[in-house]
Structures are given as structure tokens and as C-alpha cells.
Amino acid sequence: MEYKFSDKVSGLKASAIREILKFTSDPEVISFAAGNPAPEAFPTERIAEISAELLGSDPILALQYSVTEGYGPLREYLKTWMTSKGCFHSEFDDLIVTSGGQQANELSCKVLLNEGDTLLCESPSFIGSLNAFRSYNVNLVGIEMDDDGINLEALENALKTEKNVKVLYLIPNFQNPTGRTMSQAKRKAVYELACRYDFMILEDDPYGELRFSGENVPTIKSLDTEGRVIYSSTFSKLISPGFRTGFVSAPAPIVQKIIVCKQVSDVHSNIWAQVICHRFMTSVNVPEHFEKLRAIYRNKCGLMCSYIENGFSDQVRYIKPDGGLFIWCTLPDGCDMNEFCTKAVRDYKIAVVPGNSFSIREDEKSHSFRLNYSTPTNEQISTGMEILARMTKEMLG
Ligand SMILES: Cc1ncc(COP(=O)(O)O)c(C=O)c1O
């Protein structure tokens, strides 16, 4: 039987990461390809306690249908927390709980863009969001990045030449995949461009709390006076991605539309997980919990970077992140990245993700690959990075 898929989805393909991850079912393969939180970062004991209490004392709350905008006490908690970070402006913002950051970004695109409208984003960018945007047939345009974030000249050029630019999608903190952080000056400049050229900014911030070095940079949302910024974040990297609990803080009319769209998509996010998130955040020492996560990632990132600095061929450049989960490595021009990554996993049993998985255009060449340090153990980082170092030296000298 040949199935005729809708025009909307027939062009969508499984991501290259999934192809690489197939190899990782081989127990001999050390994977630096995933983006999962560290297994030791999960507060399993406290979650077990809260779960038992909840199911013992309030089972119907956790098991019954709930409201689309999210569990009331969690929304109130988030509004207060986001206000303290400058990410919720009570004069014009509202907040909705979503099924992870993924749904937050997808629904933001859905409510604002028609087919053919332009959505600008950093190049490279997070594949989950790119695929969500692609599913709406928008004109997706990637803007090159500098070390301190999106290139402003290229951005302004695109604003002048692309039609119907409605949204700029940014991951300002420890960007996935490059690990880069956008400077404060650039955040201000980007916001000014949004006001001047009349477009919205979708600020995706799943990693902001995971800064383990350097100074905190205020969010773009905190600069918002005109209601131009949609801020999305998630508990995925702070408590558990399995909870599928994220949120959007945005101008009230936008949140209202997101609520209507979410109703037709999944009615509401998992209420059990929302209650656990709320009880967790209001019963633990949150700064201590976040500091524990930062310590885990600081150590793992440091370990991985030490192998790059001391063992990799000098021809490999890399970006040392101040937080988040990823390191971006770049080989000299002319290296075939797909060949490099395939060789790494097939011959050396090390899985990394080729940079073109994060490219905006499919024909774009990339000389980079993404390494993840959160998921592997320290032993796996040491063993795997020694092998990868040897491989880069054999290939590049
Ligand atoms: C930049 C970025 N945005 C959004 C998400 C999705 O988060 P969630 O798992 O909460 O849907 C991720 C997940 O890795 C991400 O890296």
C-alpha cells in the first residue's frame, strides 16, 4: 500500500541524530551524541517521596483531567519565579504550562506564522525546533553566528531582504548545538531590531539555570517593554525530561491563542508531572538543587575539554561553553563531516552528531560536530575522548 501523506508532512524526515543514535544501541558504543540530563542529576528520592504523598493524599488531583493553561499553583509559582528573573511582566504577560519546551516552541510558531512567512533563526540551531517550524511550511532562514551570538549584520540584511519576517528564534544561553552564549550588547541590539523591523522574538531558554562559569546575562525577555518576546523554558534539564513539563511566558493575547491551539493538540500537559514539579520546587532548597546540577556539568564539561585541549589534533577548534550540555568542535575546511562521524561510530565505536544535522538548509555543508558531556559517565568520557583524540590525530595530524 502506498500512503499519500499531506503536503504539510511529506517532506519531513527523521533526524540524522536518530540515525546516529541507532548505532548507540550497540553496548560497545560510547555515545556523545545524546542530549539527556546526567543520570546522577535526577532527584529521584525526593520525587519518590512526593509521588507517594500525592497518590496517598490527593490521587484524583493527579489522575483527573485538568485545565489547558496548567496546574494553578504551578502557574502561580512560575509567574513569581519568572517575575524575579524579569521574564514575566504582569502588566501584559500571561503564562501557560506546555508539554515540554518542544511544544512551547511549536505552538508559538503555529499561532504566529502562515505558510511562507519568514522565521529567522541562528545557524546552526536546535533540530527539534527546526523540524517543528518546517512542519508549518514557513520560510526558514538561518543567520550565521559569531562567538557572542547571532551576526547582527547578517540579521539586518535578512530583515531587509526576506519577505514577511514574523519571528526570530533564538537560544541565547549555551545554545544547542554550539554552546555559545549571546552577549548582553547583542541581546539589546536584537531587541531594538525587533522594535524597528516589527517582528517577534521567540527566546528559548532551557539551559539558562545551568551556568557553571562566567557571569549571568539578562534575558531578552527582561528587556521587553513592547510585548515582543515569547519566552519558553522547561523543567526537562532541571528536574526530568520525562515529565514533559515546560512553559511559555508571553503577552496575554499570544498565550490565549496558544491555549486554544493546545486544546486541540493534547488538551493539557500531564497533570501528575505538573503537581510533582510544583511540590518539588516549593519543598526543596532550589538554589542548592541547581548548584548540584551545575557542579555535575562543570566537572563533566571540564573533563571533556581537558581531552580536547591536550589530546585532539591542533587543527580541531572548539567552543568552551559556560553552561548547558554541549561542546561544538570544528574540523578544517575540506573534511567530510559525515565521513568523520560515520567512521567514529563504525570503526571507533564513538557516537557524535555531525553538524549538518543542525543546518537550516539541507544542502549546507558543515565541518563541525556536537559533543555531549552530560549523559556519559566520567569513565566513558575518558575512554571515549582518548579514542576520539587519537582519531583526530590520525586523520589530521
Ligand atoms: C534548545 C532546546 N529547546 C527546547 C528543547 C526541548 O525541551 P523539552 O525536552 O522540554 O521539550 C531542547 C531539548 O533538548 C533544546 O535543546
Instruction: Say how many CA atoms lie within 13 Å of 44 toward its Cβ.
Output: 5
Look at residue 302 in the predicted model and tell me its pLDDT: 98
Q: Which residue has the cell 526570530?
A: 168
Q: What does the pLDDT read at residue 189? A: 98
Residue 177: asked if its preceding bond is cis (omega within 30°), the reply is: yes
The tens digit of pLDDT for each residue in 3-53 reads 988 887 887 776 666 666 677 778 899 999 999 999 999 999 999 999 999
Domains of the chain: 7-43+288-396 (3.90.1150.10), 45-283 (3.40.640.10)
The residue-averaged pLDDT of 320-339 equals 93
> Residue 17's pLDDT is what?
64
Lowest-pLDDT range of 119-128, 223-232, 300-309, 357-366? 357-366
pLDDT at residue 274 is higher than 90? yes
Distance 342 CA to ligand 1 centre (A): 25
Whether a cis peptide bond, with omega within 30° of 0, leads into 124 is yes
* Sole residue written with cell 508532512: 9
* Alpha carbons 390 and 306: distance in angstroms, whole number: 14
Give the C-alpha separation, 115 to 77, whole Å: 36
Cα 38-42-45 angle, rounded to 5 deg: 150
Mean pLDDT value of segment 241-259: 98
Least confident of 247-256, 318-327, 387-396: 387-396
SS3 (DSSP) at 95: strand
CA atoms within 13 A on the CB side of 210: 33
Residue with more model confidence, 336 or 51? 51
User: Residue 85 and residue 18: Cα distance in Å, rounded?
Assistant: 35
152: cell is 547582527
pLDDT tens for 137-152 read: 999 999 999 999 999 9
Question: Which residue among 236, 240, 326 is best mutated to probe the pocket of ligand 1, counting the most ligand atoms within 8 A of its Cβ?
Answer: 236
**115 pLDDT more than 70:** yes
Three cell numbers at 181? 552564549
Grid look-up 515546560 returns: 246
Q: Which of 161, 103, 158 is nearest to 135 (CA)?
A: 103
The pLDDT of residue 195:
98
Q: What is the pLDDT of residue 126?
A: 97
Give pLDDT tens digits for 166-195. Answer: 999 999 999 999 999 999 999 999 999 999
**Predicted local confidence at residue 19, as pLDDT:** 66
Taking the model in full, what pTM does it have? 0.96
Report, as an integer, the average pLDDT of 230-241.
Answer: 98
Nearest to 296 by CA among 34, 31, 40: 40
Q: For 60-91, how does the pLDDT look when each residue is reduced to its tens digit (9 = 90+)?
A: 999 999 999 999 999 999 999 999 999 999 99
Pocket residue to mutate for ligand 1, from 21, 98, 170, 234, most atoms within 8 A of Cβ: 234
| pLDDT above 80 for 397 | no
- Provide mean pLDDT across the span 125-135: 95
Q: What would the 3-class secondary structure string for 231-288 be? A: EEEECCCCCCHHHCCEEEEEEHHHHHHHHHHHHHHCCCCCHHHHHHHHHHHHHCCHHH
Let me know how long the chain is: 397
Least confident interval from 108-112, 258-262, 332-336: 332-336
Q: Tell me the C-alpha to C-alpha distance, in Å, between residue 193 and each of 156, 230, 316, 356.
A: 8, 16, 35, 28
Closest ligand 1 atom to the C-alpha of 175? 1
| 276 pLDDT above the threshold of 90 | yes
Position 363 pLDDT exceeds 90: no
Q: Which of 68, 142, 54 is nearest to 99 (CA)?
A: 68
Three-class DSSP category at 167:
strand
Mean of pLDDT over the chain: 95
The CA angle 105-109-115, to the nearest 5 degrees, is 150
pLDDT recorded at residue 20 = 66
Three-class SS state of 220:
coil
Confidence of residue 362 (pLDDT cuts 50, 70, 90): confident
Q: Is the CB of 101 under 6 A from ligand 1?
A: yes
Ligand 1 centroid from CA 82, angstroms: 18
290: confidence class by pLDDT, cuts 50, 70, 90? very high
